[in-house]
Homo-oligomer: A and B are copies of this chain.
Amino acid sequence: MRVLRNIGLLATCRADGGQAEIHPLREAALAWEDGQIEWIGPEAQLPARYRDARSFDAAGRLVAPGLVDCHTHLAFAGWRADEFEQRIRGRSYLEIARSGGGILSTVHATRDASEEQLFERCRHFLDDILPLGVTTIECKSGYGLSREQELKLLRVYRALSEAGPARIVPTLLAAHVVPPEYRNDREGYVELVVREIIPQAAAEGLARCCDAFLEESAFTYGEAERILEAGREAGLLPKLHADQLSDGGGARLAATLRAVSADHLEHISDEGIQAIADKGVVAVSLPIATLVTNQHPLPARRLIERGVAVAVATDFNPGTAPSYHLPFALSLACSLQRMTPAEALKGATIHAARAVGLEDQVGSLEPGKVADFAVIDAPSVEQWLYHIRANACVATVIGGQVVAGELATAF
């Protein structure tokens, strides 16, 4: 039994009540055992059975659920800082992709890297990520684009998951882009994904979700539909990169498939908004990509007004979103997407958990959920996300264990 006392503000982030409702408790305490939350409430009401439990002191700080980064491309080799400069000088994402840069340059580098090399690189990233208060990270494949190479990436994620302590949610994104060797045989690649890659990934338990990139430069509506339906038949939750560079009907497809999430959505139509609102699809906003690619942001206010749950994630990848700093993405969501700090926090907790189908286990601080939380050196969510600092998180806890920073013992 463990108790965290003297919590100035506990943002429980329960699902009910809409995007802005984080269900805060003041002068609170949080008790857990065996990695699971047993009790939360005002410290004055802490039940007698916890009075002698080992106690930690939050020193009046903010405590939030461990953050969930529900959209990353964590395993890749190389970087693309050169393209960052090219985009500043005015070249578009599609121009860069057409000239052999973009995703394909990362595919070449990633194929050349061994599973061990990629594992070490991801471990290094996670060493930077966990201290930010992030505890669950969705990780997509998609830089392999062959059976062997896509499974290699998913095995990196399995190894990371087994090594702990981060909670890794693996997603198969074989449908990231058509690989060069299938340039003149798109149908052949879709067949490979549907008949070989998806079944094997599912059979080996290597993926939880199946994703596809529906875009002019990637896969058509029909191809994405076929792939995600095959994924669903194999037991993988559908997700979709949708309406990023143009309105390709992605939101409608996500709604039709009852996907757990539709991601990007910078160009979502009004019909698309209504479709995902009707079907309860989470809209995953990716404000770092918006900033870096100089796009207009997704219409967060219209989505929220129609009752869509909006998540916020980093989209960490070497091209369009070269940062895994999720609190920084939340601050950007406030300024670029006009989300309030509370709305942004809900977007990186319970709504992000829904976007990976784990809302029963993570994403909020409630009895029965895992004891994943972050202690933040700020008196409020507003102060945290407004006063952008290198890192305001002073302790990250996963399954009841401190995995970064430290918790002071209470006397």
What residues of chain A have their CB less than 8 Å away from a CB belonging to chain B? 79, 81-82, 84-85, 88-90, 128, 131-132, 288, 291-292, 294, 322-323, 325, 328, 332, 334-336, 338-341, 380, 382-383, 386-391
Contact = CB atoms under 8 A, between A and B. Distances in A.
B335 A292 contact: yes
A142 B58 CA distance: 36
Given A322-B386, A328-B388, A389-B323, A340 B89 contact: yes
A411 to B, nearest CB: 25
B292 A84 contact: no
Nearest to A291: B335
A265 B312 CA distance: 32
Contacts of A390: 128, 131-132, 325, 390-391
A64 to B, nearest CB: 16
A86 to B, nearest CB: 10
Chain A contact residues: over half helix, strand or loop, or mixed?
A: helix
A95 to B, nearest CB: 16
B323 A382 contact: no
Top 3 closest pairs, chain A to chain B, by CB: A323-B388, A81-B382, A84-B386
A291 B333 CA distance: 11
Point out which of A89, A292, A332, A382 has the most chain B C-beta atoms below 10 A from its C-beta: A382
Contact of A382 (B84, B328, B388): B84
B85 A382 contact: yes
B81 A386 contact: yes
Contacts of A291: 332, 335-336
A295 to B, nearest CB: 11
Contact of A294 (B132, B335, B386, B388): B335
A298 to B, nearest CB: 15
A132 B81 CA distance: 21
A323 B288 CA distance: 17
A338 B387 contact: no
Contacts of A391: 390-391
A291 B323 CA distance: 18
A332 B90 CA distance: 16
24 contacts: A79-B383, A79-B386, A81-B341, A81-B382, A81-B383, A81-B387, A82-B382, A84-B334, A84-B341, A84-B382, A85-B340, A85-B341, A88-B334, A88-B335, A88-B340, A89-B338, A90-B338, A128-B389, A131-B390, A288-B388, A292-B335, A294-B335, A322-B387, A323-B388
Contacts of A79: 383, 386-387
A357 to B, nearest CB: 29
Given A88-B339, A128-B389, A294-B335, 7 more contacts: A79-B386, A88-B338, A291-B336, A294-B338, A322-B387, A323-B387, A328-B388
A334 B382 CA distance: 26
